[in-house]
Amino acid sequence: MADFENIIKGLVECDEDQVMRLVKKSLDQGVSAQDILSHGLIAGMDIVGDKMENGDMFIPEVLRSAQIMSQAVEELKPLLSEDSNRAKGKVLIGTVQGDLHDIGKNLVSMMLESAGMEVHNLGVDISPDRFVEEIKDKKPNILCLSALLTTTMPMMKSTIEAIKKNGLRDNLSIMVGGAPVTQAFADEIGADGWAPDAGSATKLAKSLIN
Ligand code: B1M
């Protein structure tokens, strides 16, 4: 039986040994990597977020939980990467300027890669100008923008505007995502698509490439 409760507890208490031990144990017991990710790690980070909002956890602790989550995701990576329906295409992905959140963006990047796409992960805090330069250089089919803060969502719009201004919009599909981002916002800023999670992002990317 998967011990999601104690994976969550370990993440909230920044107990690396507990999280890693229980993730490995769950895998050995045949629990799917996707279930460990959704019901253990992502559920745990949601609680970390609530505690952060209530002032029960502070930035250094949240960072530590995030590091442990990334380490656990590395453990799951080979098992999340089984995609028989592989797609070709080049993707550029980054978190927009002013935003340092990267766990979800890295999950999206990993799933796209495992679906067969060539993925260039630019990292966090990427300015519109840098996106423009990278699009000129890498000539991707798809650009994925991630934002986790309501205050950085407008930077998605600025990025799309910079891309248009540089005449790079026509042959590029733009997808947006991140917890506060919605389909309505994607429509409003002229993106081609929105995905709520890494799995849907992969499906959407495949359909945009086809
Ligand atoms: Co931040 N933070 N944070 N934080 N943080 C949130 C986002 C927050 C909701 C917490 C809260 O208050 N409840 C809140 C935002 C409130 C808001 O704007 N509405 C918040 C805040 C306020 C802040 C600071 C401002 C705090 C401060 O300094 N006072 C600060 C800002 C720093 C900055 O960015 N400039 C800050 C800092 C940090 C840390 C650095 C400490 C750390 C990030 C470490 C890191 O990423 N390496 C951190 C963390 C860890 C969080 C929470 C707790 C967890 C985020 C996470 O990794 N979730 C978060 C609360 C929460 O989300 N519950 C919170 C797990 C991850 C798998 O999910 O990222 O949503 P997510 O990704 C999903 C989907 O969103 C989607 O797919 C992913 C996988 O399924 N997706 C995409 C994501 N990107 C996509 C791109 C796509 C498609 C789908 O492209 C097409």
Do residues 110 and 103 lie in contact, with contact meaning Cβ atoms separated by under 8 Å?
Answer: no
Provide the pairing of β-strand 118-121 with 90-95.
Answer: parallel
Number of Cβ within a 10 Å radius of residue 96: 27
The CB of 144 under 6 Å from ligand 1? The reply is yes
Counting from 1 in the atom list of ligand 1, the atom nearest the Cα of 150 is 18
The CB of 106 under 6 Å from ligand 1? The reply is no
Least confident of 112-116, 162-166, 182-186: 112-116
- CA of 130 from ligand 1 middle (Å) equals 22
- Separation between Cα atoms, residue 196 and residue 172, nearest integer Å: 20
| pLDDT at site 60 | 93
Whose alpha carbon is nearest atom 15 of ligand 1?
A: 149
The CB of 74 under 6 Å from ligand 1? The reply is no
Per DSSP, helices labelled H in the chain are 4-12, 16-28, 33-35, 43-54, 59-80, 103-114, 128-138, 154-165, 183-189, 198-209
Whose alpha carbon is nearest atom 23 of ligand 1?
A: 149
The CB of 56 under 6 Å from ligand 1? The reply is no
User: What is the pTM (predicted TM-score) of this model?
Assistant: 0.93
The CB of 204 under 6 Å from ligand 1? The reply is no
- Separation between Cα atoms, residue 174 and residue 178, nearest integer Å: 14
* pLDDT tens track for 21-66: 999 999 999 999 989 999 999 999 999 989 999 999 999 999 999 8
- CA of 53 from ligand 1 middle (Å) equals 12
Supply the DSSP symbol for 96: B
> How many Å is the Cα radius of gyration of the chain?
18
Whose alpha carbon is nearest atom 85 of ligand 1?
A: 177
Report percent pLDDT > 90 for the chain.
82
- Separation between Cα atoms, residue 140 and residue 134, nearest integer Å: 9
59-80 helix and 103-114 helix, angle to the nearest 10 degrees: 10
Supply the DSSP symbol for 151: T
In the predicted model, what is the mean pLDDT of the chain? 93
The CB of 67 under 6 Å from ligand 1? The reply is no
**Confidence category of residue 83, pLDDT binned at 50, 70, 90:** low
| pLDDT at site 116 | 85
Supply the DSSP symbol for 143: E
Retrieve residue 73's tokens: 């995701």
